[in-house]
Structure 1
């Protein structure tokens, strides 16, 4: 009802404006003295123009626009609509009016109608912004925006839309020399990022907002360090990917997070390709209550599966993700199964019951130090548990099976890494004899996952330190949980069978740098407010991780950020021997026996593993 009243009101206003434009066109043409013989033509022109323009404006959608947000796009729309309306009016008048329509009147009609109709729309925006919006005293906080580009404009508008409650922009910082001493939206560019301390001091800046979504992690890190030394608050406007993925809402100015310092373009899935293989399918997610497993469940639900079955060992985490998904996606069939993947009979029963089309295998023991102390459990869960799943998937003719692996499987020095490498071999072997497409996805550390460094560092900072780092030179590849989950789903769409997919994760990050960044982002100074303590490398750890062995190499895929490792030749008999041994007496295996079993399929594991066991 309100929309109808609004449309009728706009139609009435435009009818008046068009009639005024017609009269002025004749008035200007004849210099204020319209000849009597043109009076009837003027009358015909007025009602023909009003009818023609209103129909054209309605067809062009001018009455469906929110003109308080009018921009150049709306101006172009008005230009096209007025041009078409003028052409229609001139044509109809030519046939209906008693006298010819003067050409100069036609030109004047186009101009005056454009002026009145366009002016009325933009005048509404001006009035809305300056008169109709209630004046509420804003914050006295002075804000400096780093980045005088499109994102900087968004940041200024965001502050303005909040009536400056979050602060008033007083200047921009930009490294482009051509922008220096110019103004953007009436706000001056005050220098480059090297000038931040001076600008902060001279203009009494209270807060700095980084509006550089395409900047590298090194640049963001440098700005963070400079700003922290200046003693002002720091926030960031996230990139477009964050807005589209739903991670944040449009009110996007937020605190800087450690993920912003990675400075790597995030992986974006091919939505059509993914939807084509998940839509309508029964999808299994093992380890569905874990950090990555639960995020895979969230991502899968976006593609309208026929049924999602969450398999997990921990009832509390499975319950949590089930309740979340039932609330967010009430129309999608959802089931949960509490099961240990080492339970071969139960796994086979569940696969027979649901007969899934796609399986994402995220269940694993992943903590390196714990698996060094409990190596037999790593074999039982990671190797035999995965084999149970692969065996059951083959039996019910699952279409696609995706294993989540790790960079620690490359030239492994830890028991955990070695078991994941064996699991990759199982997947590649199963693919050769099965109709199911078995693939693996290998990536590095996942920021924010349970047990990873970020949550650990945050807890240590909250307690006042110290933040513990094993070695000053230790580096790791990092990615976010949504990024990891989307990579897994994309790999399933690209699977031909037998591949190990690898993400281009950019440059590895020093754990020490990560710790210092997180301390600064928490409002403290490293080694001053929060000490950093080096604890020494733990058994099974490496200074740096690799994503490929020297023998593997990679081939490109159609996704610019994903590559495929060339598979190693695998001897199925040796794999079957280790699986049989673990099934028979896995609980009773000694650490030395675990090493010997792994050496049968990973000869290079011998020295590293022996050294690891000897140090325990």
Structure 2
């Protein structure tokens, strides 16, 4: 791997050094209107070429042109190239002036040289990136259509174009936003609205449909899933936005549509001023404080400045984890913890008599329904008996 990286870097250096004389003589050629360069000027160009190559190579090295990887070339790389070329051009002009007093070197050659060199260096890098991103699709690649030309769709198609392990060829987007229709994202066209997806799947011989709408409402998901089912083609979706932990969308995150996607709760806007007014300065008890719901409740409550926050959970590790997190985030908040089971009535009586909470959030419950279907006794004990004890 290291030897391959070194070889690629050496190849890049030789390429860049070769572009310097190409740009230098090209600038003379443009200066003389794409005609024959007069002998005296051609001789001066050849004599000064060594100076230009050496100075420009030093500038390339100084500005770190070889730290970047060509297949990931971006705007910062182009800016770095422009800086290196402009500095190299300026120092070359000064050096040539000191040595030859610019005899046989027209002043207009330098800006032409700079533009040509930036074009050659930047163009080659972006050509490599474009070819890598586009990929070379074989007959074995699956054709897919992406529903949703938003941010998630853009990140997904970018990953699909780069991914070499999974061979997918995005043939188009569908989106109900009229403004996006007819446009392109990374060279993939937004073909039409979602309602025309059935015809498109047949025309383009699509093998897979991807729903790239992680923030879609459940009502919209049901409509789109209905359209996908009518096509008779397999379809996949991305997790909801709150589950996309990395903030990046990749082909590895594709999954089948679950019942939660179709029956999901719509977001609710909360009146935080009223909630803060209710909780500020009061003792708040949260049961199941170490669970996924309870821990998030604790985080939200902690920032509302309660007098104290009592954490109650039957899991030692979960209780310790949320306590350490809150102590670090809110060092001035008074926090106490109780390692107890909500089913234990005696323990709950002791907690309430000692802590005397003003507000209780009961989040100590098992919530994974498929698992609980064959664990009925424990589900009833914790969810029903525990809630009854707390009440």
Provide closer, same or farther for how the CA distance between residues 359 and 7 of structure 1 changes in structure 2, counting only shifts above 3 A. farther
- C-alpha distance in structure 1 between counterparts of 2:24 and 2:138, whole Å: 42
Q: Does 1:61 align with 2:64?
A: yes
Aligned match of 1:11:
13
For 2:37, which of 23, 33, 40 is the aligned residue?
33
For 1:50, which of 20, 43, 53 is the aligned residue?
53
Q: Which runs of 5+ in 1 are unaligned?
A: 268-284, 298-309, 326-333, 335-355, 372-376, 391-421, 426-439, 463-537, 542-590, 599-608, 610-616
- C-alpha distance in structure 2 between counterparts of 1:189 and 1:229, whole Å: 21
Kept in 2, the 8 Å contact 1:293–1:362? The answer is no
Aligned match of 1:495:
none
Name the SS of the counterpart of 2:236 in structure 1. strand
Provide closer, same or farther for how the CA distance between residues 239 and 154 of structure 1 changes in structure 2, counting only shifts above 3 A. farther
Provide closer, same or farther for how the CA distance between residues 539 and 209 of structure 1 changes in structure 2, counting only shifts above 3 A. same
Deviation at 1:148, TM superposition (A): 2.0
Q: Deviations over 1:433-458 (max 9, x none)?
A: xxxxxxx8x5x97xxx9622xx2157
Deviation at 1:128, TM superposition (A): 4.8
Aligned match of 1:114:
118
Q: Which runs of 5+ in 2 are unaligned?
A: 271-285, 299-310, 325-331, 375-383
Provide closer, same or farther for how the CA distance between residues 17 and 198 of structure 1 changes in structure 2, counting only shifts above 3 A. closer
Kept in 1, the 8 Å contact 2:288–2:365? The answer is no
Aligned match of 1:456:
369
Kept in 2, the 8 Å contact 1:243–1:249? The answer is no
Aligned match of 1:191:
192
For 2:78, which of 75, 80, 87 is the aligned residue?
75
Provide closer, same or farther for how the CA distance between residues 253 and 76 of structure 1 changes in structure 2, counting only shifts above 3 A. farther
Provide closer, same or farther for how the CA distance between residues 86 and 263 of structure 1 changes in structure 2, counting only shifts above 3 A. farther
Q: Deviations over 1:170-210 (max 9, x none)?
A: 33111111333454444443332333344445545443212
Q: Summarize the alignment of residues 441-590 of structure 1 with structure 2, pairs less than 5 Å apart.
A: 451-452=366-367, 455-456=368-369
- Structure 2 length-normalised TM: 0.65
Name the SS of the counterpart of 2:210 in structure 1. strand
- C-alpha distance in structure 1 between counterparts of 2:179 and 2:163, whole Å: 31
Provide closer, same or farther for how the CA distance between residues 360 and 178 of structure 1 changes in structure 2, counting only shifts above 3 A. farther
Provide closer, same or farther for how the CA distance between residues 154 and 247 of structure 1 changes in structure 2, counting only shifts above 3 A. closer
Provide closer, same or farther for how the CA distance between residues 117 and 139 of structure 1 changes in structure 2, counting only shifts above 3 A. closer
Deviation at 1:67, TM superposition (A): 0.8
Kept in 2, the 8 Å contact 1:171–1:190? The answer is yes
- C-alpha distance in structure 1 between counterparts of 2:222 and 2:51, whole Å: 64
Kept in 2, the 8 Å contact 1:287–1:361? The answer is no
Deviation at 1:146, TM superposition (A): 0.8
Deviation at 1:129, TM superposition (A): 5.9
- C-alpha distance in structure 2 between counterparts of 1:128 and 1:247, whole Å: 20
Deviation at 1:15, TM superposition (A): 1.8
- C-alpha distance in structure 2 between counterparts of 1:198 and 1:289, whole Å: 50
Q: Does 1:384 align with 2:350?
A: yes
Name the SS of the counterpart of 1:169 in structure 2. strand
Q: Does 1:102 align with 2:106?
A: yes
How many pairs does the alignment contain?
Answer: 339
Q: Does 1:171 align with 2:105?
A: no
Deviation at 1:105, TM superposition (A): 0.7
Provide closer, same or farther for how the CA distance between residues 313 and 265 of structure 1 changes in structure 2, counting only shifts above 3 A. closer
- Aligned-residue Cα RMSD (Å) equals 4.9
Q: Deviations over 1:432-487 (max 9, x none)?
A: xxxxxxxx8x5x97xxx9622xx215766x9xxxxxxxxxxxxxxxxxxxxxxxxx
Name the SS of the counterpart of 2:170 in structure 1. strand
Name the SS of the counterpart of 1:143 in structure 2. strand
Aligned match of 1:234:
235
Deviation at 1:38, TM superposition (A): 6.2
Provide closer, same or farther for how the CA distance between residues 159 and 28 of structure 1 changes in structure 2, counting only shifts above 3 A. closer
Q: Deviations over 1:523-575 (max 9, x none)?
A: xxxxxxxxxxxxxxx9999xxxxxxxxxxxxxxxxxxxxxxxxxxxxxxxxxx
- C-alpha distance in structure 2 between counterparts of 1:150 and 1:291, whole Å: 27
Kept in 2, the 8 Å contact 1:215–1:263? The answer is no
Provide closer, same or farther for how the CA distance between residues 170 and 17 of structure 1 changes in structure 2, counting only shifts above 3 A. closer
Deviation at 1:113, TM superposition (A): 0.8
Name the SS of the counterpart of 1:177 in structure 2. coil
Deviation at 1:151, TM superposition (A): 2.6
Name the SS of the counterpart of 1:190 in structure 2. strand
Q: Summarize the alignment of residues 288-367 of structure 1 with structure 2, pairs less than 5 Å apart.
A: 290-291=291-292, 313=314, 318=317, 359=335, 361=337
Provide closer, same or farther for how the CA distance between residues 265 and 242 of structure 1 changes in structure 2, counting only shifts above 3 A. farther
- Structure 1 length-normalised TM: 0.44
Q: Does 1:87 align with 2:90?
A: yes
Deviation at 1:17, TM superposition (A): 1.5
Name the SS of the counterpart of 1:148 in structure 2. coil
Provide closer, same or farther for how the CA distance between residues 16 and 321 of structure 1 changes in structure 2, counting only shifts above 3 A. farther
Provide closer, same or farther for how the CA distance between residues 311 and 53 of structure 1 changes in structure 2, counting only shifts above 3 A. farther
Aligned match of 1:146:
147
Aligned match of 2:208:
207
